[in-house]
Chain A
Amino acid sequence: MNAIVNSTRAELLRLRKWSAIWVIVGAWLALSLSFGYVFNYVAYKTGDDNFAGDGATDAQLLAELMPSAIPDVIVSGLPMFGGALAMVVGALVAGNGFGWGTWKTVFTQGPGRLAAVGGSLAAVTIFIFAMMTATLALSAGVSVVIAATEGQTISMPTMGDLAESFGAGFLVLEMWALLGFLVGVLAKGPALAVGLGLVWSLVVENLLRGVGSLLSGIETVTDALPGTAGGSLAGAIIGGPNGTPGVLDAISGERALVTVAAYVLVAAVAAVVVMRRRDLA
Chain B
Amino acid sequence: MRELVVETDGLTKRYGDRLAVDRVSMTVMRGEVYGFLGPNGAGKTTTLRMMLGLIRPTAGSASVLGRPAGRPDVTARIGALIEGPGFYPYLSGRDNLRTMARYQGLPNTEVDRVLEMVDLAGRAKDAFKGYSLGMKQRLGVAAAMLGSPDLLVLDEPTNGLDPAGMADMRALVVSLAEAGQTVILSSHILAEVQEICDRVGVINNGRLLRESTVADLRGGATLRVRATPEDAALAVLMRMAGDEGVRRIGNETLEVDLPATATPDVVRQLVTHSIDVHEVAVAERSLEDVFFEMTGNRTNSGQELVS
Contact = CB atoms under 8 A, between A and B. Distances in A.
Contacts of B100: 10, 105-106, 109
Interface string B73-115: 0011111101111111111000100111011110000000000
Nearest to B71: A112
Interface string B43-75: 000000100111110000000000000011001
A149 B61 CA distance: 73
A109 B143 contact: yes
A281 B72 contact: no
A13 B105 contact: no
B233 interface: no
Given A6-B105, A110-B103, A115 B72 contact: yes
Nearest to A110: B76
A14 B99 contact: yes
Chain A: interface secondary structure? helix
Given A108-B78, A110-B72, A279-B54, A100 B103 contact: no
Nearest to A104: B86
A110 B143 contact: no
B201 interface: no
Nearest to A279: B55
A159 interface: no
Contacts of B146: 109
Contacts of A100: 86-89
Nearest to A114: B72
A280 interface: yes
A179 B82 CA distance: 30
Given A14-B91, A14-B99, A280-B54, A105 B104 contact: no
A107 B90 contact: no
A280 B52 CA distance: 11
Nearest to B50: A279
B206 interface: no
Interface residues of A, number: 31
B147 interface: yes
A13 B88 CA distance: 11
A10 B146 CA distance: 14
Contact of B54 (A104, A115, A116, A119): A104
A164 B286 CA distance: 75
Given A102-B88, A115-B72, A107 B99 contact: no
Contacts of B71: 112
B82 A6 contact: no
A4 to B, nearest CB: 11
B72 A112 contact: yes
Contacts of B147: 110
Given A6-B103, A108-B78, A109-B103, A279 B56 contact: yes
Nearest to B146: A109
A6 B106 CA distance: 9
Contact of B80 (A9, A102, A108, A279): A108
Contact of B75 (A9, A19, A108): A108
Given A13-B99, A104-B86, A281-B49, A109 B105 contact: no
A10 B102 contact: yes
Nearest to A20: B90
A20 B51 CA distance: 35
B72 A111 contact: yes
A143 to B, nearest CB: 35
Nearest to A6: B105
Contact of B85 (A14, A101, A111): A101
Given A9-B102, A102-B88, 18 more contacts: A10-B102, A10-B103, A14-B99, A17-B91, A18-B88, A103-B86, A105-B87, A105-B143, A106-B100, A108-B79, A108-B144, A109-B146, A110-B72, A110-B147, A111-B103, A119-B103, A279-B54, A281-B55
8 contacts: A6-B103, A13-B102, A14-B99, A101-B83, A105-B85, A108-B54, A108-B79, A110-B77
Interface of B: 49, 52-56, 71-72, 75-80, 82-91, 95, 98-100, 102-105, 140, 143-144, 146-147
Closest 7 CB pairs of A and B: A101-B86, A110-B76, A112-B72, A10-B102, A279-B55, A108-B80, A105-B86
Interface of A: 2-3, 6-7, 9-10, 13-14, 17-20, 100-112, 115-116, 119, 279-281
